[in-house]
Structures are given as structure tokens and as C-alpha cells.
Amino acid sequence: MNEIISPAKTLSGSVLLPGDKSISHRYGMIAAIAEGPSRIKRYSGGADCQSTLGCMESMGIKIERDGDDTIIHGQGLEGLKASATGDLDAGNSGSTIRMLSGILAAQSFTTRIAGDESLARRPMDRIINPLKEMGASITAHNGRFTPLTIEGRTLHAIDYTTPMASAQVKSCVLLAGLFAEGKTIVREAIRTRDHTEVALREFGAEIDSLKNVITLEGRPQLKGRELEVPGDLSSAAFFLVAALIRPGSAISIYGVGLNPTRSALLDFLAQMGAPIKVLDVGQRGGELVGDIQVKYAPVKGGVLEGATTAALIDEIPVLSILGAVSEEGLLVKDAKELRVKETDRIATVAENFKRMGVKVDVHENGFFVPGKQKLEAATLDSFGDHRIAMAFSVAALAAEGGDSTIEDAGAASVSFPDFYTILKRLAS
Ligand code: S3P
């Protein structure tokens, strides 16, 4: 499916976003191994989070939809059954396969799990290694790719230092640690999003985080809960940037997740000079939630490196668009992880910029987009990557020379099925 995006003069109005993708995955998995039903409000309708629910259903978990609520009938730590529908399908979702593998490794049955072509190119050794240390039996294509065949075993607790900044790896080890006797410890050099820790605590696990060391007590009794997923700040990023590249824009976004391990985005935009206000902040299910208002203002540009790069890793494609129209441009360093996302996002950002006549210097672990550049209307490609589809749809709003086409635009539905409808409603 192609999408035609016309240039916009301004963007205005208000937005209610889909439920956070990261939090939805965690609620979907943890509710299934908790005891009794959980009612999850605003569970993401994106294909990725639905892949997680599909896997849980294949393993015998009953899931009902009641309006905007998803009811997951948890069966406790020992309640999953061997898939009745053959291989589990993680679709496009790295979070599904990497986090769920932690649970699968501890079952009393064998599971084969795979996904689409993009997932088949993404490294799984990052979760296979710690799980094997815990006693898991996993075979993978060429040692590190899908499909994974996971023979359930009794796992033992480990003390693990993650070799890269990855919340998926941390979460995989913690979810596996639920099934092991004793304390599982995960140490991170760079702190990553802590939604797994927050969610496990909400469902009744004993878990402590002190600085970058997380300690989980194994074999907890998890209890079904009623929870609401906050709006996805990573989805908000597309509209924040859209407002910041079109003069006169003003947008309000309601009920957005503001977890401090995610909200570095707002700090970074504010540092660049973006007029952003956060209002009505409260807590729900251990997660901070609030409303965001943004108005157009010219922004300075900036540098992303180290822990900031890790914290903003999903937002880099759309921040690169802001970089191109900023005063000084955007320099992205320490972003090797971008090479192993749904696409090699350094390459796919660079290719679409080239098509728009935008200069970008590509480095092995990052790139530099000089500022004050003109964007030309073009035929752009998502390359099957949801964040590339949405980032370059935003770029097309500021393009000169007419409409742009986004090829394979449907990829956006992996995290944000209504993205184009909302974008077009805000644009004038
Ligand atoms: C996620 C962690 C990040 C992020 C992904 C979601 C999560 O991946 O890019 O979109 O929900 O834990 P890594 O763990 O590979 O950094």
C-alpha cells in the first residue's frame, strides 16, 4: 500500500495515541502467566503487540476484547500449554520473540518461534547466550537467527551483565528469572527502559532496582490486575517533530507515558529550543502519564551520544528530519544498534534523505545531517519499517515541489494503525 502525503502549511489540533508498544507487550506476557484475569485498557492495536497476544493464545491463554479493553485470562506460572497451532509467529516484532523466549525457555514443552523476513535478519544470540547460562536449550538458524527451537528446561538464576544497551535482553532474562529459584540479577552499563521492572512489581513480583542493578526474586505469585496502558511517547515523537518543522503549528497530545527512562526525548527537544509543555502529570500502574503541548519554534540542532542515543534509539529516524531543518543539524553517535532494528535505520534514513535531495554524512555507528536544508518531494520507501514510514511521512509535510509517495506505507500499522488518518486530520 502506498500513501500520498501532501505538504502541510501548519499542524493543529489534539491527538490521543495508541497504547505504548513496550508496555503493551509486557502486560500481554505477564498477565498470561499471572493468576486470574487481567483487564488491560488501551492495549496497543498495533500488529506487533497483537503478535504477542497471538502467541499467548496459541499457548492456551484465553483473550477477549471488550470495547477498548483486552481481557487476558492468566493461568499462572505453570499454565501455558504447548502451541496448538504449530510454530509461534512473532511477525515483525523483536520485542515479542526476544522477551517471550525468556518465558518459553522455562516451559515443560518445546516451542518453535519465528517471524517475518525482517525479524529473520535480526540477531538473537543476545538472548540465546544469557538463557543458555540459565540452563536453557535453544537452537537457532546459523546459531543466531530465527527460527528458534526452544526446549523448555528447569532454569537457574544468574547474575548477568548485559553486553549492549537493550531493554529486550534485560527483560528476557528477568522473565526467565521468574521461573528460576532464587535471585536473578541483571546489571546494565547504560540504563534502558524499565517497563518490565515496573510491570512485574504491579503484578506482585518482588523486584528491586538500585542504580543500574535489578534484582528479581524467582517463583513469585503473580496476580491478575486492571491496568491502563499510557499513550506511546515514541508515537508522539512523530507529531512533536511535525509541529516543529511547520511554522504556526500547535498540537496537544493527551495521556502520554512519561516514564523517565523514555522521556529524554522531551529534554532533548527542549534543549534544542522547542517550546514543549507537560501538564497534568500523574501515575497509573507505576507509570508516569501526562499531557504534552508543543508549538512551532525554530530549533537549534544537537548531538546524540552515549546514554542519550540509547534512550532515544527509536526516535532517531524522526529526529533526523528535525535535524535537517534545524539551525546546526543533528549529529548521531554511538548508534550501532540502529543497524539491527527492523531495518538498518542508518541506511534507510540515508537512502530516503538522498531521494529528498538532503545531504547526510553516514558513519559506521551514526550519521550527521547538516541543518538548514530544503526537503524535496520524492518517492520514498518504508523498506517495511514502521518508524521509517512515519518519519518520512513527517518529512513529506515539509517537502517542496508537491506530494510525496511513501511506498509500503502500511508498515506503520506495526505500531500505529491510525497514523495516516491522524496526520492528515492535523495537517492543513
Ligand atoms: C524495546 C526496546 C528497544 C526498542 C524497541 C522496544 C522494548 O529495543 O528499540 O522498539 O520494548 O524493550 P532493544 O532492546 O533492542 O534496544
Predicted confidence (pLDDT) per residue in 134-149, tens digit: 999 999 999 999 999 9
CB neighbours (10 Å) of residue 83? 20
The alpha carbon of 167 and the centre of ligand 1 are apart by a number of angstroms equal to 6
What length does the chain have? 428
314 lines ligand 1 (CB under 6 A): yes
The alpha carbon of 173 and the centre of ligand 1 are apart by a number of angstroms equal to 14
Residues classed as catalytic? 314
The alpha carbon of 169 and the centre of ligand 1 are apart by a number of angstroms equal to 9
For ligand 1, atom 9, the nearest C-alpha belongs to: 314
Residues of the chain short of pLDDT 50, as ranges, are none
193 lines ligand 1 (CB under 6 A): yes
Alpha helices in 230-344 (DSSP H): 233-245, 264-271, 306-311, 316-325
pLDDT at 211: 85
The alpha carbon of 120 and the centre of ligand 1 are apart by a number of angstroms equal to 16
Strands 69-75 and 35-41 turn out to be antiparallel
22 lines ligand 1 (CB under 6 A): yes
44 lines ligand 1 (CB under 6 A): no
pLDDT at 91: 98
Taking the C-alpha atoms of residue 144 and residue 152, their distance in angstroms, rounded to an integer, is: 18
Alpha helices in 47-147 (DSSP H): 47-58, 94-104, 117-120, 125-133
pLDDT at 245: 98
Beta sheet of 213-217, edge-to-edge order: 159-161, 183-187, 213-217, 207-210
The alpha carbon of 171 and the centre of ligand 1 are apart by a number of angstroms equal to 10
166 lines ligand 1 (CB under 6 A): yes
Residue among 118, 119, 121, 166 to mutate when testing ligand 1 (max atoms within 8 A of CB): 166
